[in-house]
Structure 1
Amino acid sequence: MKTMAESARRRRGGAQGGDGRPNDHLFDRELDHLPPEARWREWMNRVEATIFAASEPVGREVLARIVGKSCSIDLLIDDIREELRGRPYDLVAVAGGWKHLTRPAYAEAIRSAFGTAASGSGRAKDLTQSEVLVLMCIAYFQPITRAELSSFFGKEISRDFVGHLRGADLIASGPRNPTPGAPYTYVTTKEFLLEFGLDTLRDLPDFEALEDAGLLSKEKLLAGDVMPDFVVDQDYVGVELDK
C-alpha cells in the first residue's frame, strides 16, 4: 500500500526512480499543451535554471532530460546567450558542458571587491612558470611519461614536481606505457579544462600551426619564452556566479 507521502509526491510530479531522478512519465518534457513560442521559452528557462543551480558544467545528456526530444539544445543555448548579451555574465562551453561565468571585462571589479578574480579554486594561478610549462607539455603530448617529460626538458622532472600538479587535480595517471617497466603516463583532467576555459582538448591552440607560423618552438618552450593564450587569459572562466 502506498503511503500518504508517496501519493503526495506523485501528485506533485515528484516521484523518483532508482537513480533519484524524476520519472520521465511524471515530468512533462515535451510540453505539447503549450504553443510553440511558449514551449521554447519554458525550455530556455529550464535549461538556464539548471545550469545556474549546478556547481559543475552541465552536459548535454543532463539538459536532454528536461526538454523535448525534438528540442535542439545548441539552438536553445544560442538563444539564451543572445538574451544575456550586454549582461555581465554568459553561458560558456567548458569541460564538456555549459557554465554560468562572468565576463572578462568585470574581472578587475571582482578582484577589487574580493581580492581575487575568482571565487573558484584558482589552482592555475598558484603554479610556477616551470609547472605551467610542464603542464602545457602534458596537455599537448599526452599520454606522456615522467621520463619523456625529463627528456623533453633536458632535466629531471621529479616525482614531487609531478605530484604538485596531481595535487592540484590538473593531471592524472593515464594508461601504462608499453615499454620495459610499464611506467605510468600522465594526462590532463576535466579540472584542467575547467581551469583554463577549454571545452575539450581540441580547443588547445594547434601546436603544428603555431610551429609553422614561427610562434612556438621546442626551444622557446624550454626557455620559458612562450605562454599560450589558454594559459594567460583565464579570467573568463575563473569567476562563477554566486549560487
Structure 2
Amino acid sequence: MSFDAELAQLPPELRWREWMGRVEAVIFASPVPVTREALGRVVGRDCNLDLIIDDIRAELRGRPYDLVAVAGGWQHRTRQSFTDAIQVAIGLGTTEPKPLSQTEALVLLCIGYFQPITRGELCRFFGKEISRDVIGHLRSLGFIAAGPRSPQPGAPYTYVTTREFLSHFGFNTLGDLPNMEALEDSGLLSKERLLAGEFPLAFMEGDGEVGDLEDFDPEGEA
C-alpha cells in the first residue's frame, strides 16, 4: 500500500492531529535532528510544518523535554534543569568524552566564526602553533571537517564546522553563534585584535579545562 500523506478523507481537525502525531513520532524515533524535507514526506502538501511544530511544543510545555530546532532540523531534548536527575538515575553523561581544553575550545570557536580557515591562519590568529593533534581531536569528535582548499600557495585544506557541531552545542544554524559584540562586551573576545592577528584572551595561558562551551547553549537544552 502507498503511504497516504494527504489524509484527504479525514476532517481538518483529525487530519491536523494525525500530522502532529506523525511528525512527533518521526522526531522521537530519530537519533539525529530530522530535517524539514524528511518531515515533509509524512504530511500533506498544504501542511504548515512550522505551525505543526508550534502546536507540538505547546503541548510539551511543563514537560521535562522539548522539541528544539538544531543543526537544520528538529530533535527532542531534555531540559537542562533535569541533567543532574538523569545522571543520578542512569548515569547518562558520566562517560562523556573529556571536556575540550581551553585551546581546543578557542580553536573551535575561531573556526566557527571564520570558516573556511586554514591551520596556518589559525596559528597566525593565536600567535602560536596550533598542533595537528588539536585539529585531529576536533575532527575525531565530529565537530570540524575538511573544507575547500584555500587559494593560498600550496592550496592547503581549510576547516569548517559540521552539523554535529551545531547539534552538540544546540545551534540550528551558524547564525545562532553568540553575537561577536556581546562576546567583546563580556571580555571573552576582541574582534579588532583577533583580526589583526592577536588573540587577547587572558585565560588562554595553559590548557585548563573550560567544559563543553556552555555559553554555546542558547536553548538551555541538554
Same fold (TM over 0.5): yes
Report the equivalent of 1:170.
Answer: 143
Q: Superposition RMSD on alpha carbons, in Å?
A: 2.4
Distance apart, 1:30 and its partner CA: 1.1
Report the equivalent of 1:240.
Answer: none
Structure 1, residues 61-120: CA drift from partner, whole Å, max 9, x if none?
0110010111000000000000011111111111111111111110111122233447xx
How many angstroms apart in 2 are the aligned matches of 1:122 and 1:163?
18
Alignment of 1:101-112 (within 5 A): 101-112=77-88
Report the equivalent of 2:177.
Answer: 204
The residue type equivalent to 1:82 in the other structure is A
How many angstroms apart in 2 are the aligned matches of 1:199 and 1:222?
30
Report the equivalent of 1:236.
Answer: 221
1:84 maps onto 2:70 in alignment:
no
Q: List gaps (5 residues or longer) in structure 2.
A: none
Report the equivalent of 2:165.
Answer: 192
Structure 1, residues 121-154: CA drift from partner, whole Å, max 9, x if none?
845x532121111111111111111011111111
Structure 1, residues 138-174: CA drift from partner, whole Å, max 9, x if none?
1111111101111111110111221111111111111
- Confirm or deny: 8 A CA contact 2:188 2:201 kept in the other structure: no
The residue type equivalent to 2:221 in the other structure is Y
How many angstroms apart in 1 are the aligned matches of 2:105 and 2:187?
21
Q: List gaps (5 residues or longer) in structure 1.
A: 1-12, 14-25, 238-243
**Percent pairwise identity:** 62
Alignment of 1:5-24 (within 5 A): 13=1
The residue type equivalent to 2:204 in the other structure is G
Q: In terms of Rg, which structure is larger?
A: 1
Alignment of 1:146-157 (within 5 A): 146-157=119-130
Report the equivalent of 2:34.
Answer: 58
Report the equivalent of 1:47.
Answer: 23
Please give the secondary structure, in 2, of the residue aligned with 1:126: coil
1:74 maps onto 2:74 in alignment:
no
How many angstroms apart in 2 are the aligned matches of 1:92 and 1:35?
29
Q: What is the aligned residue count?
A: 209
Q: TM-score w.r.t. structure 2 length? A: 0.85
How many angstroms apart in 2 are the aligned matches of 1:207 and 1:132?
16
